[in-house]
Amino acid sequence: MMMLDWSRRAACLDLDPELFFPISMEGPCQSQVEQAKKICNGCPVREPCLAYALSTRQAHGVWGGTDPDERRSLIAASAVPRQGSAPARPLPGGR
Ligand code: SF4
């Protein structure tokens, strides 16, 4: 799978991808989402990760410390331009 340059330094690189892609963003999975966001908060590539997720309209999972609802709000507020097609998830876990 394609790996972006910045993703090689991702704090989540060797972590279980399911932590960042819970089956739900609500209910019992909320603690999982919060745990993923905490990892993002200490990640050296949080900014490019979030920029990538916004520009490629990643609709699922935690990216750059944000959940899908937060990203939709950011996109709506700033009219982030959309880039071409992109892999669904080049990270975490070296995907
Ligand atoms: S999802 Fe993005 S910001 Fe969060 S740990 Fe992984 S690379 Fe870093």
The per-residue pLDDT for range 2-47, each reduced to its tens digit, is 678 999 999 999 999 999 999 988 888 899 999 999 999 999 999 9
Q: How confident is the model at residue 95 (pLDDT cuts 50, 70, 90)?
A: very low
pLDDT of residue 30: 93
**Nearest CA, atom 4, ligand 1:** 40
Output the six-digit token pair for 92.
Answer: 């975490």
What span, in angstroms and rounded, lies between the C-alpha atoms of 16 and 73?
A: 27
Distance from residue 14's CA to the centre of ligand 1 (Å): 11
For ligand 1, is residue 49 a contact (CB within 6 Å)?
A: yes
**Nearest CA, atom 7, ligand 1:** 10
Q: Does 58 or 94 have the greater pLDDT score?
A: 58
The per-residue pLDDT for range 41-58, each reduced to its tens digit, is 999 999 999 999 999 999
43 carries a ligand binding annotation: yes
> What secondary structure does DSSP assign to 42-93, as a single string?
T-TTHHHHHHHHHHTT--SS-BTTB-HHHHHHHHHHH-PPP-S---S---SS
